[in-house]
Structure 1
């Protein structure tokens, strides 16, 4: 049964990856780099300090730094445990893909999808009572995750699992954050 899902995952990756074209490659190469999302991060930073002030906002930022650090390290443990080759390194399919970058680490689960979802859901939970349209922040992990499939460096299931893991971790982390926040500031 697992082999069936892995095969379908490979087929879906090949299909989605081959929808790409040279004219769109620069766009997706730009999208996949965290640095180019800086304006979004600066907007979120502004919204946090506007909503919580300097002292509470500083605690929120520290919490986000811990969130990202934890997510990054946790994903490395998961990747090393499963040891799934990235599609660009998998000799059974890499010749069928449009490979634009060649990372060498393992594939399951996607760090981009996990951390961006973890971050986005946490920010949504944090700011949902302050900003009506904050849920649009979910576009960030969706676009960010798809860029990894487009570039041929993650399977769709790696991305999907990253979304699920990131959302789950975010809900748990937000509960812990809320307890700490109340003890410190209320």
Structure 2
């Protein structure tokens, strides 16, 4: 019998040197260095890009989606959405009583895709709403709407939820394809692992490029959408679901439908955290009497949901009964 690990807080990382720590440091360094170049140049960069690529047919395809419900046809964004829907169907099938033992690995991997999809979407919308950055397509027509990265934009909350462009939602979700590369990490074939990362990372890069040349996002939106997406996937893979340990039998998800239930709970947790951040923002910029009440209530519910997140994946510690204490 293997041990079911329980941690005091699901944000707590395991200590020790591993791929996730190296990747986190490397990506943040690259992001900060690149941002220093684009800080006040990204609107001009978008203007030049849209002029150079005068026939953005492919870019338009990548930006289209049936799920936008605005008359678009099938587009590049739909691949990320279809991957999530396919993983959800497979996940539910593997949890049928007759399939639970037979398709354990499939359940682990599809659950990883589901959890990653939800976290990427929630994280992106929270950031986009908080920063409320006006997209370059509008800023090109009215330069007064332009703001550099990390400065509060001029969208209202409603507009920011749907149109805020920092970070790039399309690019963040496109990194969902990289989950397929992480699934191959247990393969003994190192060439296969490298090729998978190159192929699926390329999808995220292509999505980011097309977002810029179509005037939908700034380079910094795309850059941090890609970086945040990869880091979140790493966090889910190594720190939350412990996918390698699950596949090797060293770790087990405690609750049935644990990954899905955790993802749904994370949606509400993300909303509460986002409410706290946005409430603080408006309390500083334009204080109203109800802002402190809103912030306190959101913190309260965030703590409650956080406690629920702790119990969904990590069960009580169970030791091997065959072990004998040597006196």
TM bucket normalised to smaller: 0.7 to 0.9
Aligned to 1:107: 165
- Structure 1 residue 62, shift from structure 2 partner: 2.5
Aligned to 1:97: none
Give the one of 58, 61, 64 matched to 1:27: 58
Aligned to 2:114: 65
- Structure 1 residue 6, shift from structure 2 partner: 3.8
RMSD between aligned residues: 3.3
Matches of 2:123 and 2:206, distance apart in 1: 22
TM-score calculated relative to the size of structure 2: 0.44
**SS of match in other structure, 1:12:** helix
Aligned to 2:42: 9
Matches of 2:144 and 2:51, distance apart in 1: 12
**SS of match in other structure, 1:116:** helix
* Cα shift readout 1:112-140 (whole Å, capped 9, x = no counterpart): 222222x2333222213436121221111
Aligned to 2:178: 121
**SS of match in other structure, 1:7:** coil
- Structure 2 counterparts to residues 20-169 of structure 1, below 5 A: 20-22=53-55, 25-33=56-64, 35-37=74-76, 38=79, 41=83, 54-90=103-139, 91-92=142-143, 105-117=163-175, 119-130=176-187, 132=192, 133-135=195-197, 136-169=199-232
Matches of 1:4 and 1:177, distance apart in 2: 36
Matches of 2:38 and 2:61, distance apart in 1: 30
**SS of match in other structure, 2:165:** coil
Aligned to 2:153: none
Larger Rg: 2
* Cα shift readout 1:51-98 (whole Å, capped 9, x = no counterpart): xx733213321221221112111111101111110111221189xxxx
Matches of 2:105 and 2:113, distance apart in 1: 12
Matches of 2:222 and 2:38, distance apart in 1: 14
Matches of 2:59 and 2:209, distance apart in 1: 9
User: Structure 2: which 5+ residue stretches go unaligned?
Assistant: 1-34, 66-73, 88-93, 95-101, 146-159, 254-327
Tell me if the contact between 2:112 and 2:237 (Cα under 8 Å) persists in the aligned partners.
no
Matches of 2:58 and 2:221, distance apart in 1: 22
TM-score calculated relative to the size of structure 1: 0.74
Structure with more helix by fraction: 1
* Cα shift readout 1:4-24 (whole Å, capped 9, x = no counterpart): 8543111111111221123xx
Change (3 A) 1:112 1:178: same
